[in-house]
Structure 1
Amino acid sequence: MNLDLCKELQVRRSGDGYVVCTPFKYYDNDNVVVFAWPSSRGAFRVSDNGEAAERLSMDGIDVCGDRIDRWIGEAKVFFKLNWDQEDQSFWVEVDEGELAAAVFRVAEAASQLQAMTVVRNSFSESTFKAEVMSLIRDVARETGVDVKFDVPVVSNFTADALFLAEARPLAIVVAQSKDRLMEAELMWSNAKRLGDPTMVFAVVESSDKVGRKEVERAQFYTDKTLTFRNFSHQVREKMIESLSS
């Protein structure tokens, strides 16, 4: 039996099942691979085979820790998947007609799980960050909107600043590295997934500092990704505009 899913998925036979290479990427840029096996009732069991969790473990992240466990619980509901505690893998059983959609759901969940490796609890101060913090305080004074600093928001990701606007809170992430920019993306993705109204702005010093491709990608996975160096006035204006709307 051959599977013809869609042009974005590369399928090959492996033993009794199938290996599906997806367009989703792990943080190291490897494609997420999903496995599909025929089940006893004529359906297919689709799984990431524990690869995302294994990658987390190799990076020294405790897959059974509270933060990861809480995220997995939320991901199960959002992606409509199961979690195999023994194999530490996402899985779902579907009919062949639903197979392509299930592969995409498992792959996206796996890529987001492995991306949790970038979560860090502290970040070194820099002149750039100090300048952004000063600008944030100026914006708070000008708009009259209260602001808090180093606040857990959206699944306990930490924002460098959180404007407590009545309509929609605004979280600011000072992205001094690719890892921190990825955190901003995860914060935004989780806010969307959970229906949290918090907006997420990432502020980078320049695209040269964190990577041009990374900044371009972040534009799609944050409410705004702003360049600070030589454009600080625009950063200020965008913050004020968002808090005033």
Structure 2
Amino acid sequence: MDTITIVIPFSPYPYNKSSGKNIYGDEYSMGKYINEYFSVSIKNNLVAIGCDIYAYIKDLDNSSRRQDNIVSGCASFCDSGGAKGSLLYDSSNASYSASSTYCTGNHGCCLSAFSRMPRILFASIQTMNTEKTSWTSSNCTYLLVVEKGIAESEFTQLLGKCKKDDYYNVGQAVNWVIGNVSCDKATRTPKYACGKNSRCVDDTTRPTEGYRCNCSPGYQGNPYLPNGCQ
């Protein structure tokens, strides 16, 4: 198994209604390189929630000299006047209700897969302000990296009410690797983790070195146990 699911917190990214600018800045780093052993997996989707916004994620790693630095993006619109499906303002508690429909892009929510996973993940969420009525009644946005397989209809249950200083939780898939050395170096150390009938695979998802173990062709099981691949 190359990935595990973790629960991460997230919060809204509200806009200033007068200037139309995100109060935290138009772009922000989401940090693909979580720590020495984990990095965000391609087994996630980008989800943007809000009215008349577009969001994208790009790769800031210049070492590969790739030109396709935008790896995922989508646009989310709302019905005029804050109709059903948009983020509706509740004056009783100064919060916003999320859409109850799927993330198709036209009801306050959009979803996009990743073409590849960047080594250094950077995200942006910005307003298009195509519907003045929706914009003035709903200036709260979210940008999430969510594990694939979570039903789109579940996002509203995850979000609940949208308040500026609130935090919510969502499941995210992450890659995990062993150590910070390549297979070539690891196989020559007493701490080499791959068991019998397994092979070492260099990790390419992080800025630093690391490796994982897979059972050799024709074998199956747990490659990290001494005799785990049978």
The TM-score, its normalising length taken from structure 1, stands at 0.30
Higher fraction of strand: 2
The TM-score, its normalising length taken from structure 2, stands at 0.31
Higher fraction of helix: 1
